[in-house]
Chains A and B, each alone.
Chain A
Amino acid sequence: MNSLFLQTGARAIKPLMLLFSVYLLLSGHNHPGGGFAGGLVAAAGFCLHALAVDVHAARKTLKLQPSALIGLGLLFALISGIFALFAGLPLMSGLWFTLHLPIFEEVKVGTPLIFDIGVYLVVIGITLMIIMNLMED
């Protein structure tokens, strides 16, 4: 697909999609979104890049291999649950801290957010692992 229009469009849209996916991920706890939706949007952004330009180019912008993303995501999800063990709580219990930041005033950070990042990474990883390999095939 060597349409210049598509290539340019994809190059412009992809960062927006990635930004939007991060927004979905971070706001997912209070608004519609979350790791599943965010991860899928991000994966779709990379797919768009791969379709419009080239798989290898898309792979290069990914920095990490999809398999590494899956591993990293599972690790995040696991670690988020293990914190609770050190606090003497059952595995996977959520722990929360309140951060005082200058701009946002109070921000609540908890282990479920780490878990959601794990979900996000795994979803990106599996989607791209399958689709990119299919495209290269």
Chain B
Amino acid sequence: MEILLAIIIGILFSCALYLMLRRSLIKVVIGLALLSQAANLLIFTAAGLHRGDPPLIPEDAVAPIGAHADPLPQALVLTAIVIGFGVLAFTLVLFQRAYMIIGTDDLDQMRSTDTESTDLKTLPQQEIHEH
């Protein structure tokens, strides 16, 4: 199964990176979401897989009995999942906001914060000044 998972991780990375190389903003975000899945799975797999028993200690024991899954990568991945969610949500909101101001989701038109870009002239604040 490790080999199978390694291949899946490879496919996930490929798809994520391909999406991140697009010019369309929304595709980049979907790529980012896939990338965090791939990274989590990579950490989980690389630390060694163990079918079945979770890292729980039975009621009558002091230490886990027999073979069990490694708890440390699980703890790492658990926080990574939640953090990934928080960051993804922030990115989505940021991109949505950028789209509403600039009016396009073409990354090539968001090259710089201080260019002569005509799009920036449509900013609401400036409209107020012109009135």
Scoring A30, A32, A36, A130 by chain B CB atoms within 10 A of each residue's CB, the highest score goes to A130
Interface residues of A in 5-44 (CB under 8 A from B): 30-32, 36, 40
Q: Would B56 and A32 count as touching, CB distance under 8 A? A: yes
Chain A interface extent, by class: 10 to 19
Chain B residues bordering chain A, tally (CB within 8 A): 10
Measured between beta carbons, the chain B residues less than 8 angstroms from A126 are 86
How far is B79's CA from A36's CA once the two chains are assembled, in angstroms? 8
Q: Would B82 and A130 count as touching, CB distance under 8 A? A: no
Scoring B54, B82, B89 by chain A CB atoms within 10 A of each residue's CB, the highest score goes to B82
Residue in B closest to A39 when the chains form the complex, CB atoms: B82
Q: Would A123 and B82 count as touching, CB distance under 8 A? A: yes
Interface residues of A (CB under 8 A from B): 30-32, 36, 40, 123, 126-127, 130, 134
Interface residues of B (CB under 8 A from A): 54, 56, 78-79, 82, 85-86, 89-90, 93
